[in-house]
Every structure is written in structure tokens, then in C-alpha cells.
């Protein structure tokens, strides 16, 4: 049986809902502010949380970095990966954020001085989701080149590896396997699990648009060539999971 509701009256269930919302909104706002303060206190010492911190600094800023910028974390990462990583961090940059500070030159080549590297702190269990959610809300104000739509294509591991290592020369700085490649950039054999494909395409296409002091070179690759690289990262990334 349906009961009519007189004009202007608010059903009891709706009153309860509105009352709950009235209580929750200030709590949600306070919670967001608390998370923001926690991130500023815990992360700002090593990571740039705003684009201005890098854009308004001279190039010497790059040598002082202790961690990568986070002001475009929401454009870059996949949230589930970020939550897992914050709970149990693993080193993604074999030679740290600024490799010259952690490298010893020897007759047999450069060797990473692991004693100078510091491990990232693991966040308490109750903080990982909150912090990851906050970081995923950080975006570039003028997002560059995020209009590329990624449509994965099949690629053989042999051809992808040849393209990555020989034709594009990515292995000079990056690893596509734990035992293959350079150490001055982050490893890329797990890149697919942590980064959004559209970001990968955009960053490879114009790294300076994201980070004015990046060490990543612009190799002036065509869109098709970039997509081929991302197809390879997808292939090896899924194999690593």
C-alpha cells in the first residue's frame, strides 16, 4: 500500500538520511584536511606536491631531489598499486632519485653505493588507503597531451625487447628485467602495474611538459612508436604479475 506525503512534508527516512549527511560532511572535510596535513608532513620533505616547487626553481633542484614529484600522482599512478606500494614499498629506482649521488666510478664501470640509499618508509595500515586516495586527487593544472587513447596491440616479446633495447635505446637508463638494463631511471618491468597507459604515452612524448627538470630525454618519437613501447611494457608487466 502506498501512503501519500503531504506537500512540504519530509519523510522520516529522508530526514534520517539528511541528518546523517549533515553530520558526515563536516567529518569528511575534517578527514580530508587531516590527510592533507599528514601528506604534507610525511611526504613534502622528499617529494614536490605542487608544480610550482619545481617550476619556480632553477635546474639545481634536480640534484637535491630525494624522491620523484607527486603533483601529478593522480594522472600517473593506478590507485590499487599505490595502496599496495605505500604499505610495502620496494625500490623502483636502483640508483636513487639522483644517481650521481649514489654511484661509485670503478675501472669495471659504475657501481651503485647501496649504503647511501635510504628505504622508503612503509605507511601504517590505516593510512595507506587515505594517503593513496589523497595523492590520486593531485593533478597537473594544465595536463599536457593526455588526449591519447591507448588501444593495446599484440607484440612479440622478442621484437618488443629489440625495440626497447636496441632501436629506442631505453635500456641505457631503464631495466626491462631485473637483470637487464641501466639504473639511472626507474625500472620498467613493473611499469604497467603502477602507471596509467595514457600517462606513459604522454610522458614519453614530452617529458619536460610534466617535469621541467626531468632527466628523461625527448626522443621525438611518433605516436605509433610510443604505443609500441607501451605494448611491450604491458606484455612484460603482465608477465611479472
CB 48 within 8 A of CB 171: no
Q: pLDDT digits over 177-213, tens only?
A: 999 999 999 999 999 999 999 999 999 999 999 999 9
Residues of the chain with CATH 1.10.760.10: 145-241
- H helices of the chain, in order, are 12-43, 52-55, 61-64, 73-76, 79-87, 125-135, 157-162, 191-194, 197-205, 207-210, 223-240
Q: Provide the whole-model pTM.
A: 0.84
Which class does domain 145-241 fall in?
Answer: mainly alpha
Q: pLDDT digits over 117-163, tens only?
A: 999 999 999 999 999 999 999 999 876 766 778 999 999 999 999 99
Residue 48 three-state SS? coil
Secondary structure of 70-112 in HEC code, one letter for each residue:
CCCHHHHECHHHHHHHHHCCCCCCCCCCCHHHHEEEECCEEEE
Identify any residues that bridge with 77 across adjacent strands, giving them in sequence order: 195
Amino acid at each position: 500500500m502506498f501512503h501519500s506525503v503531504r506537500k512540504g512534508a519530509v519523510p522520516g527516512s529522508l530526514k534520517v538520511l539528511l541528518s546523517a549527511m549533515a553530520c558526515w560532511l563536516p567529518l569528511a572535510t575534517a578527514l580530508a584536511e587531516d590527510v592533507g596535513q599528514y601528506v604534507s608532513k610525511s611526504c613534502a620533505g622528499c617529494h614536490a606536491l605542487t608544480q610550482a616547487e619545481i617550476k619556480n626553481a632553477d635546474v639545481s633542484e634536480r640534484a637535491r631531489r630525494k624522491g620523484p614529484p607527486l603533483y601529478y600522482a593522480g594522472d600517473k599512478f593506478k590507485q590499487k598499486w599505490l595502496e599496495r606500494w605505500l604499505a610495502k614499498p620496494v625500490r623502483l629506482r636502483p640508483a636513487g632519485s639522483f644517481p650521481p649521488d649514489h654511484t661509485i666510478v670503478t675501472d669495471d664501470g659504475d657501481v651503485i653505493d647501496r649504503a647511501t640509499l635510504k628505504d622508503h618508509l612503509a605507511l601504517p595500515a590505516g593510512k595507506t588507503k587515505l594517503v593513496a586516495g589523497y595523492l590520486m586527487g593531485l593533478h597537473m593544472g594544465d595536463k599536457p597531451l593526455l588526449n591519447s587513447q591507448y588501444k593495446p596491440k599484440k607484440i612479440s616479446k622478442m621484437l618488443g625487447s629489440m625495440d626497447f633495447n636496441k632501436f629506442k635505446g631505453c635500456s641505457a637508463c631503464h631495466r626491462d628485467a631485473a637483470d637487464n638494463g641501466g639504473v639511472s631511471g626507474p625500472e620498467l618491468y613493473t611499469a604497467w602495474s603502477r602507471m596509467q597507459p595514457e600517462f606513459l604515452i604522454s610522458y614519453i612524448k614530452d617529458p619536460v611538459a610534466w617535469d621541467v627538470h626531468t632527466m628523461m630525454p625527448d626522443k621525438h618519437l611518433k605516436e605509433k612508436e610510443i604505443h609500441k613501447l607501451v605494448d611491450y611494457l604491458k606484455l612484460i608487466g603482465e608477465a611479472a604479475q
